[in-house]
Amino acid sequence: MILKTYREKRNFSRTPEPQPNRLGNSKVPIFVVQKHKATTLHFDFRLEIGGVLKSWAVPKEPTLNSKIKRLAIMTEDHPLEYQNFEGIIPEGNYGAGSVEIWDKGNFLPFSGSINDLELGLKTGHLSIILNGRKLKGEFALTRFKNAKTKNAWLLIKAEDEYSKIDR
Ligand code: MN
């Protein structure tokens, strides 16, 4: 079953979040960043890879500052339909709180084909070009090598014409 963990964490009669129906398949893969005011505020960074939204929780706002490394904790895959989700997850549900779309757009791998993205997830290194309203240009997602922190990645803006050092 696809998205098993996503389903197990949720009761779809009690949350407005989308119930997954099928794998997605956009012509050009999409990314979305959702500002999630749950127990602690964080930014959910999601990339369409392999028909689902691979997801990371980023504790602080993503930045174009190439000197800043943002911690990004990998969380459960979300259905592609989640890209449009905004709303309130009621108290008592997983992730209770408000969700709003902070940024959205398409992305491509920095080199190679979109089929190489799944390999990047396995090897722990993704280099991507984002085309959002706020996030633009090359970013790297790199997994920590320490096995104890296997879900911990770093999200870093690469230096290019979109990178800034003042924010
Ligand atoms: Mn979240």
Q: Which residues of the chain have pLDDT under 50?
A: none
Looking at residue 119, what is its pLDDT? 93
Mean pLDDT of the chain: 94
- Distance in Å, CA 97 to ligand 1 centroid: 9
- Distance in Å, CA 98 to ligand 1 centroid: 9
Looking at residue 69, what is its pLDDT? 96
What's the predicted TM-score (pTM) here? 0.94
87 vs 17: CA distance, rounded Å:
8
What's the Cα-to-Cα distance from 59 to each of 13, 25, 29, 129, rounded to whole Å? 29, 28, 24, 21
Looking at residue 115, what is its pLDDT? 85
- Distance in Å, CA 140 to ligand 1 centroid: 21
